[in-house]
A and B are shown apart, each in its own frame.
Chain A
Amino acid sequence: MKRLALAKLVRQVLKKDDLVVCGLGATEAAFKEAGPVSPTYFASDPMGLWPSIALGLALAQPRRRVTLLAGDGDLLMNLQVLATIASTPAKNLRIVVFHNGAYSSTGGQRLAGERLSFAAVANGVGFGWAFESTGEEETRKRLEELLARPGPALLDVHLEDEPCPAAPPGPWSQVEERTLFMKALQNLTHEAG
């Protein structure tokens, strides 16, 4: 399965009041192309930090579903954070791993530990639900399960290794991006009354 196909499947299972934290690089490019349906923070920079940010957001917004879209290289950079997440009451936090075994936006270099199972690590540190999936049919079913049950939960989706040239910086600075995200979240809260 290609990463855009996964991004589109994720988009289908999200609701407009979900919060999404999207990792950088190829994952960001794919989810932007699929088109977000709800407040989405496109991390842009740096690698390795977004699971902890998604955790903080999930703790601050316990009534909303928070989904982290994580590239495999991104998640691998700070893998111990899964143990922290597992030890928290963040039942509203789910993680989808875009797993192609390579640093796609820096030239496709293979990851150290490219055979790693993120699902096995998540299960090992105490996630209540973590699976691997391959192919669209299986992944669609697993994504529905992921969103239907309490977190923290993780779906490790195996993808084809496609190139993804690094995108140029967008029109907004990081402080503008996070301000827009915070405003979108405030508007969502206001609409909900």
Chain B
Amino acid sequence: MTKPVSNYAELIVQGLKQAKVEIVASLPESMLKQLYPMLREQFRYIQVSNEADLPGIVAGAYFGGKRAVIVMENSGLRQAAEPIARLTFGHRIPMVLLMPHRGDLGEDVWWGHGHSETMVPMLDALRIRYWFVYKLEEIVPSIEKALLHADAGQVAVALIFGGECREVPKHA
């Protein structure tokens, strides 16, 4: 009997656990919607009301010796750009951002297309190294490597989940 395949949300949780993440700061959205209840159950989960508050929570946790990550929609990059820039350029805070690829090829949600169009230019402008994660088997190792990369270089790293690694895009 073959083992059932884990879905993207279970694998993200597994990756975060293996990377010894204890705190998750997030503004939830719909493309990783299966993930958020699991985060709330299994981590110290802090839900904000504005993405601009996410980088500070990660920075404070880092000061206090705990690993924290950000989970938000890719549009949140625009809202969080100022604190990310201040904390990474000035304070050199390691920061890992997990985001679904809202506005990816074939998505019928037209208002999300701009999120994709601005995502890579924003990441480049903020000097955030980023990788696309589109296959389930890539999730766990990518998360572990992202945390390692961010800590080692004291930089921000983003993982962008598309393909099998988020909800099937449809109006939400």
Interface residues, chain A, with chain B CB atoms under 8 Å away? 21, 41, 45-46, 48-61, 78, 80-81, 83-84, 87-88, 173-175, 177-178, 181-182, 185-186
Contacts and interface: CB of A to CB of B under 8 A. Distances in A.
A56 B55 CA distance: 9
A59 B46 contact: yes
A185 B83 contact: no
A52 B82 contact: no
B92 interface: yes
A153 B57 CA distance: 18
A83 B49 CA distance: 8
Contact of A54 (B54, B60, B90, B93): B60
A52 B23 contact: no
Instruction: Give the contact-size bracket for chain B.
Output: 20 to 34
Q: Which of A48, A60, A182 has the most CB of B within 10 A?
A: A60
A73 to B, nearest CB: 16
B57 A175 contact: no
Interface of B: 22-23, 25, 44, 46-50, 52-66, 68, 82-83, 86-87, 90-93, 154
A181 to B, nearest CB: 6
Contacts of B82: 46
Given A45-B86, A59-B44, A84-B53, A175 B91 contact: yes
A118 B62 CA distance: 28
A114 B84 CA distance: 28
B99 to A, nearest CB: 19
Nearest to A189: B65
B63 A57 contact: yes
- Secondary structure at the A interface, as helix, strand, loop or mixed, is helix
B86 A60 contact: no
B102 to A, nearest CB: 22
Contacts of B87: 49
A84 B49 contact: yes
Q: Closest 6 A-B residue pairs measured CB to CB?
A: A56-B60, A60-B64, A52-B56, A60-B66, A57-B60, A53-B60
Contacts of A59: 23, 44, 46, 57, 60-61, 64, 66
A161 B110 CA distance: 50
A61 B92 contact: no
Contact of A53 (B22, B23, B56, B65): B56
A44 to B, nearest CB: 8
Nearest to A60: B64
A169 to B, nearest CB: 11
Given A45-B90, A80-B53, A81-B53, A56 B61 contact: yes
A56 B62 contact: yes
Given A60-B62, A60-B63, 7 more contacts: A52-B57, A59-B44, A59-B64, A81-B50, A178-B63, A178-B93, A185-B64
Contacts of B86: 45-46, 49
Contacts of A58: 60, 64
Nearest to B54: A52
Contacts of A53: 56-57, 59-60, 63
B92 A56 contact: no
B47 A78 contact: no
A57 B49 contact: no
Contacts of B53: 51-52, 78, 80-81, 84
A33 B150 CA distance: 36
A43 to B, nearest CB: 10
Contacts of A54: 60
